Structure 1
Amino acid sequence: MKKNVVVILICVALIVVLIAGCQPKAKNEGPKSLKIGVAAPITGNWSEYGYGFEVATAIAAEEINESGGINGMPIELVVMNSKGDTKEATAIARKFSEDEEILAVVGDFSSTCCMAAAPIYEEGKLVQLSPTATDPDYAGLNEYMFGIMGVQSAEGPFVTEYLLGKYVNADNVAVIYLNNDWGVSASRYVIKTAKEQGINIVAEESHVDGQTDFSTLLTKVQQANPDTICLITFYNECASIANQIAKMNWDVQITALGPGASEQIIELGGENVEGLLASTPFFAIDDGDSKLSVFKRHFELDAGFSLNVHSACAYDALNMIAAAMENCDEITRENIRDELAGLRGFTGITGPIEFQPSGDIIRKFLIVGIENGSWTIKADYDYADELE
């Protein structure tokens, strides 16, 4: 009897297993979102730029998703902190490249980080669209690299010929630049154009990232007796140098290439940056209900600081990737690259954007200055054309 019961139980168990094995397997429904990586210096010396990337791309993704996403699928951002460090940037590139769900990347902030990560992204066939890398060699490294800030081969000569030469009428200029890929490249274009324009470069000095004490450097520069200083660096260093120049009671015109119309310069420099002049491809004006104005208010509410060109370009970068995705018959890494390269008629909050074959763009520039504690436009986009 016991044997019969055991046999029956075994038979029942086998039947259950067979029935279960015959059941249709659940279909693989695929990803439920379209993942885009964001690589940015969320912490470190450039943290406000990185946080600006994070806020701007989040707003762009929110707007896209509220409008129905891409073919009904929402955008999902995967944000990683590069800390402005090339080792972190390359590690992030590997993680993003190995994750098949990551379809494209917005970032990184610096040309140095972007260029270090470029070979890894190329191997993974993954677009790296930088809002801010301007080294003219960056986008041409491979077909998956793109940049929308513009290139130093355009801004450097503009700063020298039109800001320093025509607007300031500088005769003797001292160049102080950040010693990284971007800073070295930008300084070379400024110095080369100065020689062509007959402007004397009386001093060339570099500083390291995160430097705070410029006393020795500035004493050396002062001895060269420049009438104008051209700073090729970011807002922290711009403000620090201006503050230390004020302590020296040194009356010299300060100009800047790099930080754009950054409110952080005013916050850190106060009255010591009054009269500072800079170049920028973008100036945020709240003119009512335009897309730029709506974004500007949203960004400043979420970020807690004023909109700058770097964050505006991050917003445009994500929207460009979304536009490329919408044009894909099948959304793959390779197809996104092809559609992005061929994207035409795209106008972002920073203006019309169309890639050159090299993967970067050519922009026009404004001359802006700090007047009564606020940035104002000193010369419009057509300033260079008017002088021709």
Structure 2
Amino acid sequence: MRRPLMLLATLALAVVACEKKSTPAPSAPSPGGQPSAAGGAAPTNDANTILLGEIGSLTGPEATFGISARNGIELAINEANAAGGVKGKKLAVRVYDSQGRPEEGAQAATRLITQDKVVAILGEAASSVSMAMAEKAQAAKVPMITPTSTSPEVTKKGDYIFRVCFIDDFQGLVMAKFARENLKLAKVAVLRDNKAAFSMGLADVFIKSFKALGGEIVADESYSKGDTDFRAQLTAIKQLKPDGVFVPGYYTDVGIIARQSREVGLKVPLLGGDGWDSDKLYELGGSALEGSYFSNHYSPDNPDPTLQQFLKKYKEAYGAVPDSVGVLAYDAARVAIEAMKRAPDLSGPALRDAIAQTKDFPGVSGRITLDANRDAVKEAVVLKVSGGKAEFVTTVKP
């Protein structure tokens, strides 16, 4: 993986061997979760450098999200520096690994704020981790932009917290309408992760919306992150004969759930949200996922020239098509960079105000306008799993 001298990698990426990306072997992790330099000295927020912070799950069960986010942000930083930087200075980023854990994310945010003195924080993908980070960023008046945390609670943490993705209220409605109106499903069961804010919130919105559209929720089962056997819940759901099952979890669980649902004889379509979006989903779920659907932030099949140009650059740099986290992390970094250019200075309040003024920004994931709640107003897409990959089905606008 190509890295600029100023770019910082955090911990050993033991999971990289599992990634479909062309990357060199990682270095050993530095003690205590501290970052290690990649190709040079660790960047600092000095007179010639503007330092951003990034937190992502680089190790752990959702590591593909953190790695994709790091790639997208790196690409945006490289492009900005090649174009002259910001206010006559080069940009650099210091990256910490959250391991997908809220407590690690909070500690990393504190280090970025108090030790590294970053001007803004980018990340995380998971809503539970982002909420823990947001409390630290808000208290310190350091702007934070999450690329893909969709829980409405994230930006409620304060006026310094932003996102460039749609929220679960919209995503849940999209999938409820699609299930009811496009697939003509009358009875649906839900299987949610009771340890993930993203999963819980998305399930609640889907249930409310599906009922409002005249559908029936025949079961609302749950599991906990880290579980590997879902057969008891799936067997109970099968007995109620639903037309489909809504599984608003992360790809790590969904792939296994898909296989086990077929094992117990539950053969109806599975439905989900953007937490499904990873190449690992198809490795874990295999043919059991065929005919399933999920909502997402973008489709690589979209012919939009801005998106296609980005995909070309990303593939040249990392040897893969990015998932939605990589795409939205790139957009999050670019929103921050453009705000830094507009802001009169890089103090927390000035940069916060500049980010809040983002309107009709030409993101690769679509036009981005931040509303009064600092949430992005943008469209969603629905994808179908077919032939071991996700195919574009339709676009749903706010």
Find the counterpart in structure 1 of residue 7 from structure 2: none
Find the counterpart in structure 2 of residue 227 from structure 1: 243
Find the counterpart in structure 2 of residue 24 from structure 1: none
Find the counterpart in structure 1 of residue 340 from structure 2: 325
Find the counterpart in structure 2 of residue 41 from structure 1: 57
Contact 1:37 1:96 in 2 (8 A): yes
Instruction: List runs of 5+ in structure 1 lacking aligned partners.
Output: 1-28
d(CA) in 1 for partners of 2:362 and 2:191? 35
What whole-Å deviation, never above 9, does each CA across 1:128-154 have from its counterpart, x for those lacking one? 100011111211221111111111111
Contact 2:379 2:395 in 1 (8 A): no
Structure 1 residues 27-66: aligned runs within 5 Å = 30-66=46-82
Higher helix share: 1
Label 1:140 to 1:166 Cα distance change in 2 as closer, same or farther (>3 A): same
Query: Percent identity among equivalent residues?
Result: 23
Contact 1:178 1:184 in 2 (8 A): yes
Contact 2:234 2:266 in 1 (8 A): no
Contact 1:34 1:101 in 2 (8 A): no
d(CA) in 2 for partners of 1:262 and 1:90? 25
d(CA) in 1 for partners of 2:302 and 2:319? 16
d(CA) in 1 for partners of 2:115 and 2:354? 21
One of 254, 269, 282 as aligned partner of 2:285: 269
Find the counterpart in structure 1 of residue 3 from structure 2: none
- The aligned length equals 353
- Give secondary structure in 2 for the equivalent of 1:166: helix
d(CA) in 2 for partners of 1:51 and 1:303? 11
**1:196 lines up with 2:224 in the alignment:** no
What whole-Å deviation, never above 9, does each CA across 1:296-328 have from its counterpart, x for those lacking one? 233345445431111110000000000000002
d(CA) in 1 for partners of 2:317 and 2:190? 36
- Give secondary structure in 1 for the equivalent of 2:396: coil
Tell me the TM-score normalized by structure 1: 0.86
d(CA) in 1 for partners of 2:237 and 2:264? 12
Find the counterpart in structure 2 of residue 158 from structure 1: 174
**1:294 lines up with 2:309 in the alignment:** yes
Deviation at 1:99, TM superposition (A): 3.3
**1:237 lines up with 2:282 in the alignment:** no
Contact 2:51 2:91 in 1 (8 A): yes
One of 97, 109, 132 as aligned partner of 1:81: 97
Contact 1:31 1:101 in 2 (8 A): no
d(CA) in 2 for partners of 1:130 and 1:86? 14
d(CA) in 2 for partners of 1:227 and 1:122? 44
Find the counterpart in structure 2 of residue 3 from structure 1: none
- Give secondary structure in 1 for the equivalent of 2:119: strand
Tell me the TM-score normalized by structure 2: 0.84
Contact 2:254 2:276 in 1 (8 A): no
**Cα root mean square deviation, aligned:** 1.9
**1:373 lines up with 2:351 in the alignment:** no
- Give secondary structure in 2 for the equivalent of 1:259: helix
Contact 1:157 1:189 in 2 (8 A): yes
Find the counterpart in structure 2 of residue 169 from structure 1: 184
One of 262, 267, 279 as aligned partner of 1:246: 262
Find the counterpart in structure 2 of residue 149 from structure 1: 165
Find the counterpart in structure 2 of residue 8 from structure 1: none
**1:211 lines up with 2:211 in the alignment:** no
Contact 1:82 1:89 in 2 (8 A): yes
d(CA) in 2 for partners of 1:225 and 1:37? 48
One of 107, 111, 115 as aligned partner of 1:91: 107
Instruction: List runs of 5+ in structure 2 lacking aligned partners.
Output: 1-44
